[in-house]
Amino acid sequence: MEEIIYLGSHISLTSPEYFLGAAKEAKSLDENCFMFYTGAPQNSRRVELERMSIPAGRKYCEDNGIFLDKCVIHAPYIINLANNENPDSYAFGKSFLKEEIRRCEAFGIRYLVLHPGSRKEMELEDSIACLVLALKEVIDPSSNVIICIETMAGKGKEIGRTFEEVASILEGVGDPAHIGVCLDTCHIFDAGYEVERIDEILDRFDKTIGLSNLHVIHLNDSKTYLGSHKDRHENLGYGAIGYETLRKYVYHPLLKGIPKILETPWVNEKPPYKEEIGMLRGEYREAWRDKFN
């Protein structure tokens, strides 16, 4: 029996069809799963769930080979729970994350990706403790939503730049049914991990975090060099990681059931995902980006 490989991309949720529109867009790009923000990633304004065509979107996924159980919601990056120097924004982050969990449930989506945040002027250990405390407060034990902490590039004061840091967040929360990890290939490369040595990377991941806690992969090439701490995504095969390496993350036996979500840049105002996914699904490699002029 052939195993299913789950490939999708970031899709935006837009008026008027919202979830249904996103599902149609994913289908048109040959995706069998996808990721979205429930509104603009940089703000907290959200359309009411009633207007998001959720039942129709769920039905569309079911009828069109899109696996809802492999789809992902990305929490907005304005949430920063890794610092509580400003009690208002810390409290805001917690209540917003609680609402995101509720929204995940309404969509029928299990994975909620969260950036661990910026420690700003706090010490690393205090910052991790601050995040752990917030997560424990936010997690709803009766929910089946898993908050997936994303591995970060280490830009500025970002926490979660090493597997050890991510592991201590998970250990602190101590609830693997509600907290897990999203591994971003661009981010770990920019953080200094030699992504091409996949077996070593996965072994290190397993020994620190545990592979059973890995639920989502963000598959991106990087515009910058190993250890740059920049976080600049590139199209697959056009960056410093390279196509051959990225392809290994799609087909590695230890990563098979995990959804791979592309967050690569658009080319000439068009999404490149149909071509990038086509390339990953087939054996061929061609300079598809030239066709985007």
What residue ranges bind Zn ion (CB under 5 A)?
Answer: 231
| Token couple for 18 | 């919202």
**Residue 276 binds: one of Fe ion, Zn ion, none (C-beta under 5 to 8 A by kind):** none
Binding mask 95-114 for Fe ion (x = CB under 5 A): --------------------
Q: 269: which residues sit within 8 A by CB, 6+ positions away?
A: none
C-alpha torsion 223→116→151→123, nearest 10 = 90
Place of tokens 């592991």: 167
Query: Minimum distance from CB of 287 to Fe ion (Å)?
Result: 25
- Residues paired with 233 in a beta bridge: 222
Nearer to Zn ion, 194 or 234 (CB): 234
Nearer to Zn ion, 31 or 231 (CB): 231
| Token couple for 47 | 């359309």
Q: DSSP string spanning 151-194?
A: P----TTBS--SHHHHHHHHHHH--TTTEEEEEEHHHHHHHT--
Residue sitting closest to Zn ion (CB): 231
**Which of 60, 80, 78 has the alpha carbon at shortest distance from 68?**
60
**Residue 231 binds: one of Zn ion, Fe ion, none (C-beta under 5 to 8 A by kind):** Zn ion
Query: Minimum distance from CB of 232 to Zn ion (Å)?
Result: 8
| Residue from 58, 110, 218, 223 binding Fe ion (CB under 5 A) | 218
Nearer to Fe ion, 25 or 184 (CB): 184
* 3-state SS, residue 221: strand
Nearer to Fe ion, 20 or 149 (CB): 149
**Residue 100 binds: one of Fe ion, Zn ion, none (C-beta under 5 to 8 A by kind):** none
Within 263-282, the residues that bind Fe ion by CB under 5 A are none
Within 183-212, the residues that bind Fe ion by CB under 5 A are 184
- Residues paired with 221 in a beta bridge: 234
Instruction: Answer yes or no: are the C-beta atoms of 193 and 201 closer than 8 Å.
Output: yes
The stretch near Fe ion (CB under 5 A) out of 126-134, 143-151, 196-204, 243-251 is: 143-151
Nearer to Zn ion, 139 or 186 (CB): 186
Interface residue list for Fe ion (CB under 5 A)? 150, 184, 218
